[in-house]
Amino acid sequence: MLRLGSRGSTLARWQAENVRARLERAHPELRVEVQVVATTGDRIHDVPLARIGEQGLFTKEIDRALLDGSVDAAVHSLKDVPTRLDVGLRLAAVTEREDPRDALLASPAAAGRTLATLPPGARVGTSSLRRRAQLLHARPDLRVEDLRGNLDTRLTLVAGGRFDAAIVAYAGLRRLGREAAVTELLEPPGWLPAVGQGALAILVREDDARACALTACLDDTWTRCAAAAERAFLRALEGGCQVPIGALAAPAPHGLLLHGLVASLDGQQLLRGEAAGPAQDAELLGQQLAADLLERGGDRILEALRGQDPDALPAPSPP
């Protein structure tokens, strides 16, 4: 028996069940069970994520269950996993990455509209400061409003006209078979996703050799390498959900190419950079790119961000 800890949303359950099925195919003698654990991010729907001001909003309760032995492994969206794990935990596997791009969903009234062609004043929903900053940088004439809730809730609010558009991760739409809702895919490096977006992280206890060995079959070498570069970039900037930071590592002729950005909340300041090098130097590339952005003014952007009052953020729109 191997017990997997997961959030309870439809998408999280899909991800955990996918991991369960893959483990049972790889180990026919193994029985795998999914246990749902409620997280802070799931319980609080009426406050913007950045205003809550905690790390691991969608992971910490599951990780506690892992540490106390209630579950044997945790299944997380990698983008939700803090870059510094709790003592006693290890990242046993990073699954092959689904498409990491963000997607624009337009309401029926804005059908066919892209980010460039949405009318001035259009209401665009997102719970991500990274998306907010990039939206306002590209289109300062839009009304960007906080949109919380699971993927189905967001799709319903857009389809019902409560928002003219919303931006969500394309990976989730693909996993749930909702690609038809997409109006436009936002292309990197012009638009960067969250660090680790599209990949799943499997965490186990450091001292649990059995769980580590059983889940090793899920690890994808390339995705782990790309994630190492992106997470090193985020870690060096000491970023989290309160900071608009995006990054994406992609294959390059001699290894990998890492793109990154840091921005102000209003999008008026948006600093981009890139670093390339051998795949074995993934973490070093992330650190180098962070150092480059900090030297070019990213330190001032981050200092201003950390001095801002999170209560000034808009409240989520009611469902």
Name 132's Cβ contacts closer than 8 Å, sequence gap at least 6.
126, 144, 244, 265, 267
Rounded CA gap, 271 and 188, in Å?
A: 15
Catalytic option among 72, 80, 102, 164? 80
State residue 16 phi and psi, 5-degree precision: -65, -40
Classify residue 151 by its DSSP letter.
H
- Inter-CA distances, 172 with 88, 287, 295, Å: 29, 29, 35
SS3 249: strand
Query: Which residues share a beta bridge with 143?
Result: 123
Tell me whether strands 245-252 and 255-263 are parallel, antiparallel or unpaired.
antiparallel
Q: Determine the longest span between alpha carbons in the chain, in angstroms.
A: 58
Residue 80: active-site member? yes
The reply to whether omega before 189 is within 30° of 0 (cis) is yes
The closest alpha carbon to 223, from 279, 288, 170, belongs to: 279
- As a whole number of angstroms, the distance between CA 94 and CA 74 comes to 12
Among 148, 8, 177, 171, residue whose Cα is nearest residue 101: 171
- Residues that are catalytic: 80
